[in-house]
Homo-oligomer: A and B are copies of this chain.
Amino acid sequence: MRKIIVQKFGGTSVADTDKIKNVAATVIKEKKNGNDVVVVVSAMGHTTDYLVKMAKDLSPVPSGREMDMLLSTGEGVSIALLAMAIQAAGYDAISFNAMQIGIMTENVHSKARIIDIKTEKLKKNLAEGKIIVVAGFQGVTEDGEITTLGRGGSDTSAVALAAALNAERCDIYTDVEGVYTTDPRIVPTASRLDEISYEEMLELAHAGANVLHPRSVETAKQFNVPLRVRSSFKTDNTGTLILGVDKMEIYKPVAGVASDLSQARIVVCDVPDIPGQAARIFGKLAEENISVDMIIQSYARKVSHTNDIAFTIDAADTDKTMATLNSLKKELNCGEIQLNNEIAKVSIVGAGMIDRPGIASTMFETLAKQGINIKMISTSEIKISCLVEKDDAKKAVKALHDVFGLNSDITAEVKGDLPDV
């Protein structure tokens, strides 16, 4: 049986008709390898921004349903154009939107999750030798309502299609050459990883590496779909393969170093040490749809019977968070609420740290040697994150990248743009 390869190209890769021709060539190359090909594309370049602007002209808060109707047209354009480009190059191609295929989602607008993908139409057209071009980012409900999948949606579409079709691999083409040991803009000797596990990639993604949206990695992990991140422009480069730990050949204790400068730290001081206080705070924040990342609760002070609860949030949620906490102040009977925007989270990630002691202490020592003060620490099985002063972030990343032996012999090409989602 022929193997199925799912490819995904983001908005930058299909930004104009010349780029669409390049994508067609990449798709055809895979077809010529003897594989069946399903291609997922996002909306062209700045289409989404343009559509959002018009919507905002008409309504300060456009309805989620109509916003999804509007945005889904973006991929409608790119799939038809790519199918035409493939046909013009002499190959049979057919485009489908989510409704035509049946990419079924829950009935939620702007961030729906995929429930099921019907494969009948896909399999029929692959059997006829056609290259199939699918609209990413969009779905449809049982009732025929159009939905969108939110940030990183097209990556998720591609991975879910690969899972549904039992594909050999899902290739995510992007404007970076793969997953790096750290951001090459910070450390020019950062090296491209040949392989990384789903778990490591997830931790890196959550830790601020913007290559792939965590949701697509989670889906790939769940269905065990090998995922490859590779360059749209340098197609001879094989990029980085993301797969199950069990399938990896070798791995270093630390796979990568990430920094995230978009967080803010909140400390709720002197919270009386009675049960249910943390639940009160984080329950209320969850109600307001505010995501919390690191959480530290100090030991209760023996005299005052109070403790401090510190946590980090996305800096964009600062105003909303402060307003929510201030409204809780009386109920909590707490002290001051402190805000610090000048922080950064620096993380090391590696599946290899599980059975290798001493990784954490090496991290702390390295930061100490650089004179960097650690404000908070949080750990998972394969990640250690330290909160530091924002101004110390680059120095911390460089030192950690160095101490864990991640430098490449060659200097990575530094790109100004982060990949689109």
Q: Chain A residues in contact with chain B, CB under 8 A? A: 17, 20-21, 51, 54-55, 57-60, 62-63, 65-67, 69-70, 72-74, 76-77, 79-81, 83-85, 87-88, 94-95, 97, 99-100, 121, 144-146
Task: With both chains docked as a complex, state the minimum distance between the C-beta of A172 and any C-beta of chain B, in angstroms.
Answer: 24
Q: How far is the CA of A126 from the CA of B59 in the complex (A)?
A: 23
- Residues of B within 8 Å of A54, CB to CB, are 17, 77, 81
Nearest B residue (CB) for A100: B144
- Residues of B within 8 Å of A62, CB to CB, are 84, 87-88
Q: How far is the CA of A85 from the CA of B66 in the complex (A)?
A: 10
Nearest B residue (CB) for A82: B58
A/B interface sample: 11 pairs, CB < 8 A: A55-B80, A55-B81, A55-B84, A58-B81, A58-B88, A59-B84, A65-B94, A69-B83, A70-B80, A99-B99, A100-B146
Task: With both chains docked as a complex, state the minimum distance between the C-beta of A290 and any C-beta of chain B, in angstroms.
Answer: 27
Residue contact B69 to A80, C-beta cutoff 8 Å? yes
Which of B66, B72, B145 meets A84, CB within 8 Å? B66
Residue contact A66 to B51, C-beta cutoff 8 Å? no
Residue contact A70 to B59, C-beta cutoff 8 Å? no
- Residues of B within 8 Å of A97, CB to CB, are 69
Q: How far is the CA of A84 from the CA of B56 in the complex (A)?
A: 9
- Residues of B within 8 Å of A65, CB to CB, are 94
- Residues of B within 8 Å of A88, CB to CB, are 58-60, 62
- On whether A85 and B73 interact (CB within 8 A), knowing A80-B66, A94-B65, A95-B66, the answer reads no
Residue contact A58 to B20, C-beta cutoff 8 Å? yes
Residue contact B59 to A85, C-beta cutoff 8 Å? yes
Q: How far is the CA of A60 from the CA of B89 in the complex (A)?
A: 11
Nearest B residue (CB) for A79: B69
Given contacts A59-B84, A70-B76, A99-B99, could you give 15 more A-B pairs where the C-beta distance is less than 8 Å?
A: A54-B77, A59-B85, A59-B87, A63-B84, A63-B87, A65-B94, A66-B94, A69-B79, A69-B80, A69-B83, A73-B77, A73-B80, A76-B76, A100-B146, A121-B144
- Residues of B within 8 Å of A80, CB to CB, are 55, 66-67, 69-70, 73
Task: With both chains docked as a complex, state the minimum distance between the C-beta of A146 and any C-beta of chain B, in angstroms.
Answer: 8
- Residues of B within 8 Å of A73, CB to CB, are 73-74, 76-77, 80
Q: How far is the CA of A21 from the CA of B55 in the complex (A)?
A: 11
Q: How far is the CA of A97 from the CA of B144 in the complex (A)?
A: 10
Residue contact A17 to B58, C-beta cutoff 8 Å? yes
Q: How far is the CA of A57 from the CA of B59 in the complex (A)?
A: 35
Nearest B residue (CB) for A76: B73
Nearest B residue (CB) for A92: B63
Q: How far is the CA of A121 from the CA of B144 in the complex (A)?
A: 10
Nearest B residue (CB) for A65: B94
- Residues of B within 8 Å of A20, CB to CB, are 58
Q: How far is the CA of A317 from the CA of B76 in the complex (A)?
A: 33
Interface centre among A58, A97, A146 (most CB of B within 10 A): A58
Nearest B residue (CB) for A121: B144
Residue contact A70 to B63, C-beta cutoff 8 Å? no
Task: With both chains docked as a complex, state the minimum distance between the C-beta of A180 and any C-beta of chain B, in angstroms.
Answer: 34
Q: How far is the CA of A92 from the CA of B132 in the complex (A)?
A: 38
Q: How far is the CA of A76 from the CA of B69 in the complex (A)?
A: 7
Interface centre among A80, A81, A145 (most CB of B within 10 A): A80
Q: How far is the CA of A1 from the CA of B138 in the complex (A)?
A: 38
Nearest B residue (CB) for A71: B80
Task: With both chains docked as a complex, state the minimum distance between the C-beta of A62 and any C-beta of chain B, in angstroms.
Answer: 5
- Residues of B within 8 Å of A144, CB to CB, are 99-100, 121
Task: With both chains docked as a complex, state the minimum distance between the C-beta of A288 and any C-beta of chain B, in angstroms.
Answer: 25
Q: How far is the CA of A83 from the CA of B63 in the complex (A)?
A: 9
Q: How far is the CA of A95 from the CA of B58 in the complex (A)?
A: 15
- On whether A70 and B81 interact (CB within 8 A), knowing A20-B58, A58-B17, the answer reads yes
- Residues of B within 8 Å of A81, CB to CB, are 54-55, 58, 70
Residue contact A58 to B76, C-beta cutoff 8 Å? no
